[in-house]
């Protein structure tokens, strides 16, 4: 179902993810190095994260706050499932499919899956990014 595709669609640069998760770029890159997340890369080699990555980052942050170390977190995820690779939104192909996801759908999707526990500011950040993405 397209709903699944959307969750793994890489859309956010590390700057946005930093604000969204309250993690430093150093930490985010380190977690990737440890195989905890699998952000995609754009043509400029910059990491682009999906909603799944952000969710996982938030989970990792919570686990660390609870005193779990990286090894422990790795074990937790390894016993479950490896993070799925992100879907890289095509640069040109995007223009033709931009309206595949309407603003209302984006809003509903976020409200249903990501807004739990996030501040209004962060929600706005996410929506702003999505809006910018689908506007181009």
Partner DNA sequence: CTTCTCACA
Partner DNA sequence: TGTGAGAA
| 22 contacts: CB under 8 Å, gap ≥ 6 | 61
What is the closest distance, in whole angstroms, from the C-beta atom of residue 116 to DNA in the complex? Answer: 23
The answer to whether residues 88 and 43 touch, using CB atoms and an 8 Å cutoff, is no
What is the closest distance, in whole angstroms, from the C-beta atom of residue 57 to DNA in the complex? Answer: 11
Interaction of residue 16 with DNA, rule CB under 7 A:
yes
| 99 contacts: CB under 8 Å, gap ≥ 6 | 134
Q: Which residues pair with residue 49 across a beta bridge?
A: 12
Candidate ranges 22-30, 73-81, 90-98, 104-112; the one touching DNA (CB under 7 A)? 22-30
Of the candidates 3, 4, 5, 24, which one interacts with DNA according to CB under 7 A?
A: 24
Candidate ranges 21-29, 76-84, 91-99, 127-135; the one touching DNA (CB under 7 A)? 21-29
CA dihedral 92, 94, 97, 99 (to 10 degrees): -130
What is the closest distance, in whole angstroms, from the C-beta atom of residue 61 to DNA in the complex? Answer: 8
| 71 contacts: CB under 8 Å, gap ≥ 6 | none
Contact footprint for DNA (CB under 7 A): 13-16, 18, 24-27, 29-30, 44-47, 64, 70
């Amino acid at each position: 179902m397209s709903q699944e595709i959307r969750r793994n669609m890489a859309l956010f640069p590390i700057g946005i993810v930093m604000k969204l998760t309250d993690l430093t770029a150093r930490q985010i890159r380190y977690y990737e190095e440890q195989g905890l997340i699998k952000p995609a890369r754009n043509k400029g080699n910059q990491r682009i994260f999906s909603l799944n990555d952000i969710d996982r980052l938030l989970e990792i942050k919570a686990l660390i706050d609870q005193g779990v170390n990286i090894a422990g977190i790795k074990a937790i995820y390894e016993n479950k499932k490896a993070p799925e690779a992100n879907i890289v939104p095509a640069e040109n192909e995007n223009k033709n499919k931009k309206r595949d996801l309407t603003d209302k759908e984006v809003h509903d999707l976020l409200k249903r899956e990501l807004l739990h526990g996030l501040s209004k500011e962060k929600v706005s950040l996410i929506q702003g990014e999505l809006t910018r993405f689908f506007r181009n």
